[in-house]
């Protein structure tokens, strides 16, 4: 990914969404040729020259200081995730980063200790995933919850591929639009954090080629953090589920996170999880019986 272009597009899209009124600036008439702030207005708010801001918006972020980036974040009213993304993009655009060679990524594997923790969690679906949204491991309820994603395939299942390339996803996610927006924004965040990830670049290229919806959302340059929230799902066997999730980074495994899904006590979704557990146990019994017969 071209880090210079990433900075340019991010800054352009951020200033386009802020009106002069929102920034506390006077607005002169209705004949503005830009939908949001002008470059000179951003420069004024950030306390830098127009020439300097123009250079930054063209992707030339070499040598930019943290204080300038913080001033830009305030001027563009960036939230915490967007501010972190801006810093990531600036680091990626530095000469040192541009000359760094792309190295082969070590294959991500889930340690046996983490797998034991997963299997010990019997009352809640749990999933280990990386920042590219590959599903690397699940417990039994996790496999049952995401049964439509074909987790057992040789290549790791990927949330983004499922959402944009599998028709089942539009039924599975009751709020598909939100799931799609969040997914692209997560990949955008990771692209800023690690622009040298070849597997991520390949994934983005594949989705951009095959999904018009993905292309449109990718062009928006929105970023997002996925640490807690609620998934509104429609499972093909147990029906509607409203599941709260918590994400916990695995301290010993950089880039991997454990996601755990729970239902409110006494809710229909809790009953649905119990039904899901029974269905999953039935599938396991049938698989074990088949394996015993083949032996």
The two structure tokens encoding residue 229: 């929230």
118 & 264 share domain: yes
Whether 105 is in a domain gets the answer no
141 & 248 share domain: yes
> Mean pLDDT score of the chain, rounded to an integer?
90
175 & 275 share domain: yes
Whether 123 is in a domain gets the answer yes
- Cα separation of 13 and 44, whole Å? 18
CA distances from 145 to 105, 233, 236 (A): 29, 9, 9
Average pLDDT over residues 201-225: 96
pLDDT higher than 70, residue 146:
yes
77 & 137 share domain: no
Whether 107 is in a domain gets the answer no
pLDDT higher than 50, residue 289:
yes
DSSP-assigned states of every residue in 173-206: BTTHHHHHHHHHHHHHHHHHH-TT-HHHHHHHHH
Task: Give the pLDDT confidence score for residue 35 in this predicted structure.
Answer: 77
Among 99, 124, 159, the domain boundary falls at: 99
Q: Which residues contact 216 (CB under 8 A, 6 or more apart)?
A: none
Task: Give the pLDDT confidence score for residue 99 in this predicted structure.
Answer: 46
Looking at the chain, the whole-number percentage of residues with pLDDT higher than 90 is: 76
Any idea what DSSP says for residue 211?
-
Task: Give the pLDDT confidence score for residue 101 in this predicted structure.
Answer: 44
95 & 122 share domain: no
Interval 40-96: pLDDT, tens = 999 999 999 999 999 999 988 888 999 999 999 999 999 999 999 999 999 887 756
Domain that holds residue 70: 3-99
211 & 270 share domain: yes
- Cα separation of 239 and 7, whole Å? 43
Whether 106 is in a domain gets the answer no
CATH number of the domain encompassing residue 74: 1.10.260.40
Interval 148-175: pLDDT, tens = 998 766 678 999 999 999 999 999 999 9
86 & 157 share domain: no
Task: Give the pLDDT confidence score for residue 105 in this predicted structure.
Answer: 46
**Domain count within the chain:** 2
82 & 202 share domain: no
pTM, full prediction: 0.88
């Amino acid at each position: 990914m071209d880090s210079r272009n990433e900075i340019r597009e991010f800054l352009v899209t951020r200033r386009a969404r802020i009106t002069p009124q929102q920034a506390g600036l006077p607005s002169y008439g209705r004949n503005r040729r830009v939908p949001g702030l002008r470059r000179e207005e951003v420069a004024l708010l950030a306390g830098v020259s127009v020439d300097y801001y123009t250079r930054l918006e063209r992707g030339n972020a070499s040598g930019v200081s943290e204080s300038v980036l913080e001033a830009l974040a305030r001027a563009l009213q960036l939230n915490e995730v967007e501010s972190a993304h801006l810093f990531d993009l600036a680091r990626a655009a530095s000469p040192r980063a541009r000359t760094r060679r792309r190295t082969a990524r070590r294959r991500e594997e889930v340690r046996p200790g983490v797998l034991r923790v997963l299997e010990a969690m019997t009352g809640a679906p749990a999933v280990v995933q990386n920042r590219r949204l590959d599903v690397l491991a699940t417990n039994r309820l996790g496999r049952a919850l995401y049964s439509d994603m074909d987790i057992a395939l040789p290549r790791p299942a990927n949330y983004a591929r499922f959402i944009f390339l599998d028709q089942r996803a539009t039924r599975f996610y009751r709020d598909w639009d939100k799931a799609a927006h969040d997914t692209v924004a997560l990949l955008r965040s990771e692209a800023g954090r690690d622009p040298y990830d070849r597997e991520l670049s390949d994934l983005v290229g594949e989705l951009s080629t095959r999904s018009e919806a993905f292309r449109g959302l990718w062009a928006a340059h929105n970023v997002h953090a996925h640490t807690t929230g609620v998934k509104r799902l429609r499972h093909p066997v147990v029906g509607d589920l409203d599941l709260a999730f918590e994400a916990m980074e695995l301290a010993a495994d950089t880039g991997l996170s454990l996601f755990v899904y729970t239902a409110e006590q006494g809710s229909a979704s809790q009953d649905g999880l119990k039904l899901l557990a029974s269905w999953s146990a039935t599938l396991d019994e049938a698989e074990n019986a088949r394996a015993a017969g083949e032996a």
